Amino acid sequence: MKTDFDYISLLLSEFFARNSVIEGLQAIDDANVTGWEIWLQVEFARFLNTHVSEPEWQREVSLKYDRRRTDRSYLKPDFIIRKKHRAIDRYSALEIKQHPDASACIGNMLKDREKISKMRKSEIDLRSYWSLGVFRSASGDEVEDKLFAKAEAVGIELSSKHVLCREIENTEFSFLLC
């Protein structure tokens, strides 16, 4: 878990430091653009294609749910990622959410975490599952407090060792990884 968290954290920290991402977020803020989650996913895919660690990644792979736990058939994480030279069939999943309000964004992130618990265990060997939220900046401590309070309220266990909240420099936005 720590190795996966460190790798995903590194990827996201480098991604959000890119000038093209910062300029895109500034333009989104200046024009009050909404619904820009797909743009963020495309930019992240472009980033993964050029990253020095050469990660193997796929978008929206259909993973079957355990039908005993839900009436839905498939879960499609935004990304499944495997670092080069790691076990070939073991991946980390990353789900991305965007909302101007940190509290609403956290709520959406936790809904996704509930969904992953219903995936059929034999479908794919997911080493770990991560949620990324991007929202208007707020105090990092305040965001983490909201995250842990909301997670506890819905029965999701989180470790403070596997949470990263950081402001995106030169923008009005922050990102949260858990």
Task: Report the pLDDT value the prediction gives residue 127, as an integer from 0 to 100.
Answer: 75
Number of domains in the chain: 1
How do residues 73-83 score in pLDDT, each as one tens digit? 667 889 989 88
pTM metric for this prediction: 0.88
Q: Which domain covers residue 51, as residue numbers? A: 2-177
Count of CB atoms situated within 10 Å of the CB of 166: 15
Query: Following DSSP, what letter does each residue of 108-147 receive, concatenated?
Result: HHHHHHHHHTTB-TTS-EEEEEEEEEEEE---HHHHHHHH
